[in-house]
Amino acid sequence: MKVKLFVLILVGVSILSAQTPTAEEIVDRVTAIMSPENSYSKGSQTIITSSGKERVFEFESWAAEKGKSSMTRYTKPAAIRGQAFLMLNNADDIWSYFPRTKRVRKLASHAKKQKMQGSDFTYEDMGGGDVFQKKFKSTILSEETKDGDLAWKIQMIGIPDKDPPHPKIIMWVRQSDYYPVALDYYDGKDFNTKSLVLSDIQVIESFPTAMTMVMTDNKERSSTTMKTLEITYAWKPTKGFFSERNLKK
């Protein structure tokens, strides 16, 4: 009887351990899901201005090469209609076009660590490309329920010589589809500087997609809401799409 019980436990443990992926595997799956080859979307971005007012922008966005190249063009409001940003090499190179002066200006290379167009997002926050895989060492902290879904709580510690965008990130990954539902970003003093919540997750063309993302800056006490109004992953870029010339169109 005792032997039978021991064998049963052993089999159970083996099955369980075979089913639980490693932290690296989870992060790989997250990266794959979060980086579709191409995409075209329309969205809105809501920020709180320095005088406490709410300001909503609408934009179109194109991305290719799993987010390595992207372009965003603002459509509303009138004050910035036509202003566009082109990001190449995972936002290492950023250009901006100003329709009023008809000039294209290159931003400094360190701009990707800065706030993205006045929002609480930085260009790097979303882990575009393979940032999470290459610049962090991940471990599973626990399994817990997050907003009603069973999720893995992953701790990602930045690898110092890889120039990680944050020293530490805690990410909750939904077990059902490997989609991240929340991320907490920490600074060097282990203070939770920002928190990102992804919600209204819909499967669009077989890709789970968060239609709403809210980033809260815990220091500045501000928050930015990004909503996806329309998205397709079937879009394919034409040759030279991600170019300075196209930026001006």
Partner 1 sequence: MREQLINKLADLAVNKTKLMLWIMAGITLITMVLSGGMSMTPKWSDMLPEGDKRTIEFDRILEEFQSASSIIVVAQGNEADIKAFAEDLAPRVLDSLTIPGKDKEPAIYVRRVDYKADLDFMKEHGFMLMKEDDLKNLKDIFQDPGLAELLTNMNNSFEKEYIQPSESMSNREEEDGALIFLNGINDWAEAIGHTLRTGSIRTSDAEAAVDKLLVGEPYFLSYDREALIMNLIPTFSMIDAFMIMDGTDAVQAVLNETLKNHPNVQAGLSGAIAVGRDEMYYSSQGLEISMGLSFFLIGALLYMAFRMAMAPALALLNLIIGLIWAAGIVAVVVPVLNIMTAMFMIILIGLGIDFSIHIISTFTEMRAKGLSLEKATLAGLQKSGGGVSTGALTTSVAFLALMIGDSRAMSELGLVTAIGLLAVMVSSFVLLPVFLVVRERRYSKKRIKKGLSAEIAPRDLTLKPLGKVGILVQDNPWLSIAAVAVITILLAFSAREITFNHNMMDLEAEGLPSIMLQDTVQEKFDLSMDFAYLVSESVEESRELKKKAKELPSVASVEDISIFIPSPEQQAKRVPHVEEIHALMKGSQVTPIMPNDLDRILLEIERLEMNIMEFQSMAFLGGQDKVYRRCTEIVGSEENPPDITVFSNIYGLFDQGASIVTGKLNTFQDAYAGYFTSSVLQMANTSPLSLEVLPESIVDRYASKDRSLFLTTVLPSGNIWQDRPFMERFSIELETVSERTTGMPVIMNALIDIIGRDGRNAAYLTLILVYLILLLDFRSFKYAFIAMLPLATGAVWMVGLMQIFGFQLDMMNVMALPLILGIGIDDGVHVVHRWRLEGPRSANIVLSSTGKAVLLTSLTTILAFGSMMFSPFRGYASLSYALIFGVGACFFTTIIILPAFMGLLDKRK
Residue closer to partner 1 (CB basis): 219 or 236? 219
Q: Which stretches does DSSP call E strand in 30-148? A: 39-48, 54-64, 69-76, 84-88, 93-98, 103-107, 136-146
Whole-number minimum distance, CB 72 to partner 1, in Å? 11
Whole-number minimum distance, CB 119 to partner 1, in Å? 9
Could you say which DSSP state residue 49 is in? Answer: -
Distance, CA of 51 to CA of 154 (rounded, Å): 37
Residue closer to partner 1 (CB basis): 165 or 180? 165
Location of structure tokens 């060097």? 188
Whole-number minimum distance, CB 88 to partner 1, in Å? 16
Whole-number minimum distance, CB 13 to partner 1, in Å? 44
Residue closer to partner 1 (CB basis): 94 or 154? 94
* Angle formed at CA 81 by CA 80 and CA 85, multiple of 5 degrees: 75
Whole-number minimum distance, CB 221 to partner 1, in Å? 5
Distance, CA of 169 to CA of 185 (rounded, Å): 5
Residue closer to partner 1 (CB basis): 14 or 114? 114
Residue closer to partner 1 (CB basis): 35 or 223? 223
Residue closer to partner 1 (CB basis): 26 or 111? 111
Residue closer to partner 1 (CB basis): 46 or 175? 46
Whole-number minimum distance, CB 200 to partner 1, in Å? 24
Location of structure tokens 């965003």? 72
Distance, CA of 82 to CA of 249 (rounded, Å): 8
Cα-to-chain-centroid distance, residue 145 = 21
Distance, CA of 119 to CA of 216 (rounded, Å): 10
Q: Which residues bind partner 1 (CB under 8 A)?
A: 47-51, 53, 55, 57, 74, 78-80, 83, 96, 98-101, 103, 105-108, 110-111, 114-115, 117-118, 189, 191, 218-221
* Angle formed at CA 229 by CA 223 and CA 235, multiple of 5 degrees: 120
First to last CA, the chain: 77
Location of structure tokens 């701009």? 111
Whole-number minimum distance, CB 136 to partner 1, in Å? 24
Distance, CA of 195 to CA of 210 (rounded, Å): 15
